[in-house]
Amino acid sequence: MKKLYGGIEFVIQNQSITLNGGLFVLLEDLLALVGLHGFKMGFKHAKSPCFLCTIANENMATTSSLHEIDLRTIDTYQEQCVEIETTNNRTMRDALSKQNGIVQKSLLCGLPGFNIFEQSALDVAHVYGICRKHLKLLFLSLSDKKVLSLRAINNAILNYDYPTYESTPSDTFDLTTLKQAQISLSASQMLTVVKYLPCILSNIKPDIWSNDEWRCLLLLHELLFFCFASEVDEISISQYGDLLTLFSNIRCSIRAGEKNSQKTFQFTFVKSIFSFGTSTLLQHSSFERKHQAIKASGRRNFVNTAFTAITSYIDRECSTLFDDNGNPTIINFGPKIETKKLKTVDVGMCSASVKH
């Protein structure tokens, strides 16, 4: 990788070509980022357990926002690494390592200009694990409180009339053994279920809103809306941080033992959103649909529909831009259709919904 920064020469058909490049962003799950960058893994092994910030372990529970903490800087981090590496006393070195949460210096610090704190982002696949855990928590809670049986939930999910383009649960999907097993859904099936679950369960239990796990699911649903947005603005990013904080606090009140790990994920995810925007890794997966007329024209409409199915608004707008044969009907087609539509998050409305 270092050679790539200086240029690597290739000979193709007797012609020399030099390829230059570099590492812009490292995308991993949280544990991979922590391990790759040489930080201690686990809250009991370090006084500052968060890869991203210097917050002490005992203060993690009382901190809820990214703006309340001191973020690690590359200069201070490198000074701490040098101090640990040059300390001959084993006891002192172990103490410094535990104090700072650092095992060894990240190998990526050797790349020219690469900042491990500013150029590391969380993979959106992280939300798959969160969905799996929370759906199991929700379904078992509804069953234990005798709100809905696991079989009733199972049948409602299987019998729901999903759009044909969605990745739906297979016929072998079974929640009746959920206490002894995990939910048997692939990543795309999991996202489909989370997407439509508010409609699925409301159809069979309209008064479900008083359940804490259900309110948490609605917040998770909104977070997923945001994760797959094609474009976002600064206001939405700020609101996303508030929304994630609200989700984390409600979830932690339900599962108190997970508070520190949830906060670490929360801080790191919001920071990566601030630095890079939302992840677009799944932009072209089966659960994103673009309007057929726009597809036919070979243009992008910049409207992410991963969690917002094609609406009558888009149909109406497109009907003014194309004729029945899919040809543009106006001269200034390009500029109009390429105007970006930003995804926004209304935290106030979301907070009101979960309260009621």
Residue in 277, 274, 261, 222 with CA at minimum distance from that of residue 244: 222
Which residue is it, tokens 């300390």? 87
Tokens linked to 137: 């928590």
Residue in 344, 345, 326 with CA at minimum distance from that of residue 246: 345
State residue 19 phi and psi, 5-degree precision: -105, 120
User: Which residues are bridge partners to 27 per DSSP?
Assistant: 121
What is the distance of C-alpha 143 from the center of its chain? 28
d(CA 36, CA 250): 31
Residue in 241, 218, 227 with CA at minimum distance from that of residue 277: 227
Q: Which of 120, 150, 168 is the last residue of a domain?
A: 120
For residue 235, give every residue at least 6 positions away whose Cβ sits within 8 Å of its Cβ, in sequence order, or none: 344
Q: Which of 100, 120, 140 is the last residue of a domain?
A: 120
Task: Count structural domains, the chain.
Answer: 2
87 and 138 fall within a common domain:
no
Which helix (H) or strand (E) element contains residue 348? helix 347-355
Structural contact between residues 209 and 215, judged by C-beta atoms closer than 8 angstroms: yes
Residues comprising the chain, all counted? 356
For residue 229, what pLDDT is reported? 65
Q: Which of 120, 139, 156 is the last residue of a domain?
A: 120
User: Which residues are bridge partners to 16 per DSSP?
Assistant: 11
For residue 5, what pLDDT is reported? 81
54 and 179 fall within a common domain:
no
Structural contact between residues 269 and 248, judged by C-beta atoms closer than 8 angstroms: no
Whether 12 is covered by a domain: the verdict is: no
240 and 136 fall within a common domain:
yes
202 and 349 fall within a common domain:
yes
As to burial, measured by CB atoms within 10 angstroms (0-12 exposed, 13-18 middle, 19+ buried), residue 3 is: exposed
195 and 267 fall within a common domain:
yes
Q: Is 16 helix (H, G, I), strand (E, B) or coil?
A: strand
80 and 142 fall within a common domain:
no
Per-residue pLDDT of the chain (356 residues; tens, 9 = 90+): 888 888 888 888 888 888 888 887 787 777 788 888 888 876 666 677 777 777 777 776 666 666 677 888 899 999 999 999 999 898 999 899 888 888 889 988 888 888 888 888 777 666 667 778 788 888 888 888 888 889 999 999 998 888 887 888 888 888 888 887 888 888 778 888 888 888 888 778 777 666 677 777 777 777 776 766 666 666 776 777 777 777 777 776 666 555 555 666 666 766 666 666 555 433 333 333 344 544 555 444 333 333 333 334 444 445 555 566 656 554 443 333 333 333 444 444 434 443 33
**For the whole model, what pTM was predicted?**
0.56
112 and 145 fall within a common domain:
no
Residue in 225, 144, 221, 210 with CA at minimum distance from that of residue 178: 144
Domain that holds residue 35: 30-120
144 and 201 fall within a common domain:
yes
- Secondary-structure breakdown of the chain: helix, strand, coil percentages, each rounded to the nearest 5: 55, 5, 40
87 and 164 fall within a common domain:
no
For residue 336, what pLDDT is reported? 38
